[in-house]
Structure 1
Amino acid sequence: ETCRFHAKEAGVGEMLHFQVRDMKQTSSRFEYGIVVTNPPYGDRLGNKNENALLYRDMSKAFRTNLRTWSYYIISSDIDFERHFGEKANRKRKLYNGGIMCYLYQYCGPKPPQKGLKSDKTAD
């Protein structure tokens, strides 16, 4: 509810969709989009084995159900990319609640631009 409130205050509430659900059930009716997630890690999750399993499940769900989307994932696990199964396009160091983390950025393909003529279009 806090996220929805702040999104509305920022004037973007109608553009965003928030959900809390099992990562394995992630899906969308849209072909392109962006996922920003701060999954449990460190003390919030319990142990490294649980982290590894969560990140593998996340990767499988994203690659299966959101193939053309971009993902931005916050994690303090330095082995995140290995567990996720893919090196991030970009990685940025940040602090989240005093915990050193990284923002792992996975860029999906750009959506096609509507209304542009193709080079192959005859005049």
Structure 2
Amino acid sequence: MTSHVTTHVLDAVAGVPAAGVGLTLLRHAGGELTEVAAGHTDADGRAGELGPASLEPGTYRIVFATGEYFSALGRPAFYPEVTIDFRVEAGRPHDHVPLLLSPFAYSTYRGS
């Protein structure tokens, strides 16, 4: 099964996929956050099974446990986690939220 939301995390400093990054997918609803799913990136830095195959339209959040990832590698990091909020829109069967990561910076974009 491929989930509605997928991600790919790349370690820009090491030039490799970021394997083992903890992930939590949450939904904003009524002023509260509800956990939808949790997991980790695989050996290729990907998470293709993060949550259900279909999500209701709305605002969601992925929390990446970047501090834990860098700590496990024995590298200091400025950001203990990276939080990305995004919208799931009706009619879009899939949303890909990639993360390019370093210990002191990160970037993201709407992937395909």
With normalisation by structure 2, the TM-score equals 0.31
Structure with greater helix share of residues: 1
Which has the greater radius of gyration?
1
Structure with greater strand share of residues: 2
With normalisation by structure 1, the TM-score equals 0.29
